[in-house]
Amino acid sequence: VSEIEWDVVTSSTDVDYIVKFVTDNITRVFDECAPIVRKRVTRKRSPWINDEIKGLIKEKNRLRDLCLTKNNTFIKEAYIISRNKLNSMVREAKKKYFTAVLDCKDSKNFWSTLRKAGV
């Protein structure tokens, strides 16, 4: 701020020029002191997602992309089978996770898990 030539503001008679000068310089100082940083916000992974499910997700996505690019009934059937297998595995893993966590004797952990699940 001290490096800016403020004499321009006092010597000029054009209000529009003064406003533009002050706005530009303040914006420049703010950008130098506190630059805009873009952050990618991600949510935590579901605890029941394991490596096997991650592999099935990749396989399903690969088959989906192939199905969209090529109009082939065999690829579509493989995609549907992969999708259904993934959905059933996710349901089973989720069920096992909540059964294991909610069967514990620790009430603090029990209520914490329910809060995280949004219940």
pTM, rounded to two decimals: 0.59
Total residue length of the chain: 119
**Every domain of the chain and the residues it spans:** 1-42, 51-117
What does the pLDDT look like over 75-119, one tens digit per residue? Answer: 999 999 999 999 999 999 999 988 887 787 778 887 887 787 776
What does the pLDDT look like over 19-69, one tens digit per residue? Answer: 888 898 888 888 888 888 889 988 888 888 999 999 999 999 999 999 999
Question: Amino acid letter at 73?
Answer: T
Question: Amino acid letter at 52?
Answer: E
Question: Amino acid letter at 95?
Answer: K
Contact (Cβ atoms closer than 8 angstroms) between residue 48 and residue 90:
yes
